[in-house]
Amino acid sequence: MNESTRCGDVPDAMQSASQLLAQGDVAAAVRTLEEAALSHPASAEIHLNLGALLRAAGDLDSAARAVRQAIALQPDWPEAHYNLGNALASCKAWNEAIESYGIALALRPEWAEARNALGVAYLGASCHDEAHEAFVRARALAPVWPMPSYNLGRAAFGRGDLQAAEEMFRDAIRRAPGFAPAHRDLGIMLLVRGDYENGWPEYEWRWHPSIRSMPFDPALLWDGSLLAGRTILLWQEQGLGDALQFIRYAPLLARHGRVVVMVHPALLRLFRSGKGVETVVVQGDALPPVDIHLPLVSLAGHFGTTLTTIPSGVPYLQVPEEERSRAAALIPADGPFRVGVVWQSGNGRPDHSSRDCPPELLVALANEDIVLYNLQHRVASGELPFEDLPTGDFASTAALVERLDLIVTVDTAMAHLAGALGKPVFLLVGDPPDWRWSRDGDRSPWYPTMLLFRRHHRPWVDVITDVRRGLLEVMDASTVRGSSIKAR
């Protein structure tokens, strides 16, 4: 039940809480220990275990308060300071977590778990040198434990040292061959390097039960054999952009069987117009009879995709005809060059913030010959000089994209939509780049009409300067209204 507790007598209430936790009833276990804390207010052990349970239940503020009460009762207890660090790290209060782990290690210096946790907190606080040192020391303290090597790999990957990342991920796997996170992240690293042949199998470890469970019967997972008339369900496991990217494989499957696709509601109408798809259903709705299934992203590995064999013909998605007239009424056919802009990914998710570009910088792309259209979903331009467009689901948005001359977007679903429609698109690649954009080069093998503008640790204003230059080159070369774009 607890992450790290002091040895000694355990009250009956703690035994009851442990039994409830084993049954999966976290809420009841929390209530049991809350009552025990009232009955035994001087028991540091109860407060500490209550804090661990509250953290498991997602009540992070209460968890920190409970552990602080344990520390008030037993200030020299290293496990209590360690658990407080864990609660603070869960809140991303990195500096406070660093302080708590530091106290725990001052009380117990040769503690590998706390040293590793300190490294994770340093990494969260962007103190990369300190994180590296903590992971190295934790690795020396626990020679058979894979976690410090894995975290050294994560740190190396984050700073762009792919060789060191591979070495550390493989070291973690040597220490624990079944350690799924190291296999998964090794797969991502290999995909970044373009080693798709070895990357796809490792990336499949993301479905190890220790990481996440499949929503459908693993026994019915497609093994890559010929469909022979069977019906396969392709389901969206990740974001909207991933679904847009990998739906390109549906026509290949449709040659030998029937294809059913389950996706987010925003993709329903667009995918119904796609080639090779017989039925599209929304996530959570009743399914028609199917024989086998596969997550959409896994299709690339099952087809043995390499950099030179990606099905890159575009467009592979079509705009529903009924949407074209609506878009025509919103965007004139003649006049200035029409550029759609998107500056934020993931609906403002904090873990996507490194991808986002300040929208005011995009204003520099406009002039008397260029009009900027706002394609940011459900976000008004405000005082920015963009023409707002009423984006809806991806079918209606696709019609708007088709009507424009070029799209400038950060790494979000819009990049995949524009690429899938064969529309010229300038992609602003943040740091670190997602695996599918690799680390270098200005072209993507996934989308022939896409140019990549990489941040490479530069200010966004420098990237936009490059984009403006590229945009003017496209206009000067008269590659307008649906034609291809050239590599720089």
Considering 155, 182, 207, which residue would you say is the last residue of a domain?
A: 207
Question: Which range (30-39, 202-211, 456-465) has the least confidence?
Answer: 30-39
CATH number, residue 376: 3.40.50.2000
Considering 169, 184, 207, which residue would you say is the last residue of a domain?
A: 207
Residue 257 near residue 314 (C-beta atoms within 8 A): no
Confirm whether 312 is domain-assigned.
Answer: no
Confirm whether 98 is domain-assigned.
Answer: yes
The sign of the dihedral angle between the CA atoms of 230, 236, 240, 241 is: negative
Considering 275, 302, 329, which residue would you say is the last residue of a domain?
A: 302
Question: Which range (27-41, 248-262, 263-277) has the least confidence?
Answer: 27-41
Confirm whether 313 is domain-assigned.
Answer: no
Q: How many domains does the chain have?
A: 3
Answer yes or no: do 284 and 325 share one domain.
no
Residues whose CB is less than 8 angstroms from the CB of residue 29 and which lie 6 or more positions away in sequence, other chains included: 1, 17, 18, 20, 21, 53
Answer yes or no: do 227 and 338 share one domain.
no
Please tell me the distance from the alpha carbon of residue 434 to that of residue 226, in angstroms, as a whole number. Answer: 32
Answer yes or no: do 115 and 182 share one domain.
yes
Answer yes or no: do 146 and 76 share one domain.
yes
Angle between helices 180-192 and 196-203 (to 10 degrees): 150
CATH number, residue 97: 1.25.40.10
Q: What is the per-residue pLDDT across 450-474, written as a single tens digit (0 to 9) for each?
A: 999 999 989 999 999 999 999 999 9
Answer yes or no: do 26 and 154 share one domain.
yes
Answer yes or no: do 45 and 182 share one domain.
yes
Confirm whether 213 is domain-assigned.
Answer: no
Residue 14 near residue 36 (C-beta atoms within 8 A): yes
Answer yes or no: do 339 and 415 share one domain.
yes
Q: How many CA atoms lie within 13 A of 439 on its CB side?
A: 17
Q: Amino acid identity, residue 334?
A: D
Answer yes or no: do 186 and 225 share one domain.
no
Answer yes or no: do 139 and 282 share one domain.
no
Please tell me the distance from the alpha carbon of residue 116 to that of residue 121, in angstroms, as a whole number. Answer: 9
Answer yes or no: do 119 and 233 share one domain.
no
Q: What is the per-residue pLDDT across 18-34, written as a single tens digit (0 to 9) for each?
A: 888 788 888 888 888 88
Q: Residue 259's beta-bridge partner residues?
A: 232
Q: What is the per-residue pLDDT across 75-117, written as a single tens digit (0 to 9) for each?
A: 999 999 999 999 999 999 999 999 999 999 999 999 999 999 9
Answer yes or no: do 144 and 235 share one domain.
no
Confirm whether 481 is domain-assigned.
Answer: no
Confirm whether 176 is domain-assigned.
Answer: yes
Confirm whether 3 is domain-assigned.
Answer: no
End-to-end, the C-alpha distance of the chain in Å comes to: 57
Mean model confidence pLDDT for the chain: 92
Confirm whether 328 is domain-assigned.
Answer: yes
Please tell me the distance from the alpha carbon of residue 453 to that of residue 340, in angstroms, as a whole number. Answer: 16
Residue 485 has pLDDT above 60, yes or no: no
Range of the domain at 272: 218-302
Answer yes or no: do 172 and 61 share one domain.
yes
| Contacts by residues 464-468 (CB-CB < 8 Å, ≥ 24 positions apart) | 464/357, 464/361, 464/362, 464/364, 464/365, 465/364, 467/365, 467/408, 467/426, 467/428, 468/364, 468/365
Residue 4 has pLDDT above 60, yes or no: no
